[in-house]
Amino acid sequence: MLTVAGIEYPPKAGIKPGLKLAWCVLLATIISFNTTAVAQNNTDTSTPATHELEIARLIYDHNNRSTWGPGRPWWAIDWPDAEYHFTTGVKRYTNISIAPDSRHIRLTDDALFDFPFLLAQQPGRWHISTAEQQQLRSYLLRGGFLMVDDFHGPQQWQVFSDVMRGVLPEYRIIDIPSGDALLHVLYELEQRTQIPGRRHLYYNGSNTTVQMPFSPPRWRGIYDDNNRLMVAINFNMDVGDAWEHADDPVYPLAMTSLAYRFGINYLIYAMTH
């Protein structure tokens, strides 16, 4: 049973640890990847794409409120496991030809415009220069899609929103309405359950309890003049962890499943809008 803020999820139904473990073993067998073989530098944007879709992961400098990162820079948090698990799911549940790993790119690189889907994690720690803000603005207004994830609380929200006011000053950040195409493009996503980080899970051998530092979860966005979603904002949530820990018996299957559905909807939306 998973408990989020004192509420059992799913209602009146739990995931037996044995079933979760069996599912994880199966998933690990299907994925069969070796993280030690993953290239440590995916910044070569001159190599032509070999798949219909390749996720771009944003490289940024951290701001003066943040350290470099926990053994890796903050922009690379959850990589490479998150990409490998998620893209394997995309290939399994859709017909999208997706690259098995992300391309790492700075906003100063004009190759940015070759990637319809841009992922930024921990944007509450980023520093984006004025020149980078102008490039991001051009990318979004010309049809690009940005998903931001894994930032929490008022301080990190302030850092993120200050940058976005510089990028798109004329557009507001709003909650994504329930009727938005993003939530219905493939999966019907009426459920707005908070997706937790792995570090916020506490497992006692039978039950998993979530203690997130901030709530509520907010699924927000920034829309252009044609009501196209340019920026999808996962606030007080950690979708990347749900992808990264898909093969972890402690991480709730229901949360990984929800994170996969949101991620796939994001990708399809980015490719079709």
**Strand partners of residue 57:** 104, 119
Residue 53 CB neighbour total at 10 angstroms:
19
**pLDDT tens track for 232-248:** 999 999 999 999 999 99
Sign of CA pseudo-dihedral 152, 153, 157, 160: negative
Buried b (16+ CB within 10 A) or exposed e, 208-240: bbbebebeebbbbbbbbeeebbbbbbbbbbbbb
**pLDDT tens track for 26-67:** 444 443 333 333 334 688 888 888 899 999 999 999 999 899
**pLDDT tens track for 30-41:** 433 333 333 346
How far apart CA 268 and CA 273 sit, in angstroms, is: 8
| All domains in the chain, ordered by first residue | 2-30+50-208+251-272 (3.40.50.12140)
Place of tokens 């139904």: 13
| Res 208: pLDDT | 79
Residue 112 CB neighbour total at 10 angstroms:
20
Task: Round to the nearest angstrom and report the end-to-end CA distance of the chain.
Answer: 38
**pLDDT tens track for 94-153:** 999 999 999 999 999 999 999 999 999 999 999 999 999 999 999 999 999 999 999 999
* Beta carbons of 230 and 168 less than 8 angstroms apart: yes
Using alpha carbons, select from 66, 80, 82, 171 the residue that is nearest to residue 122.
66
**pLDDT tens track for 182-210:** 999 999 998 778 999 998 888 787 777 88
| Res 7: pLDDT | 34
How far apart CA 164 and CA 233 sit, in angstroms, is: 11
Percent of the chain that is helix, strand, coil (3-state, to 5): 35, 20, 45
How far apart CA 55 and CA 52 sit, in angstroms, is: 10
Of the listed ranges 162-176, 200-214, 220-234, 238-252, the one predicted with least confidence: 200-214
* Beta carbons of 229 and 269 less than 8 angstroms apart: yes
| Res 15: pLDDT | 38
Concatenate the DSSP letters of all residues of 74-117 into one string. GGGTTTTHHHHHHHHHHHHHS---B-SSPEEEETT-GGGGG-SE
| Res 36: pLDDT | 33
Torsions phi, psi of 264, nearest 5? -65, -40
- Model confidence at 13: pLDDT above 80: no
Using alpha carbons, select from 101, 18, 70 the residue that is nearest to residue 198.
70
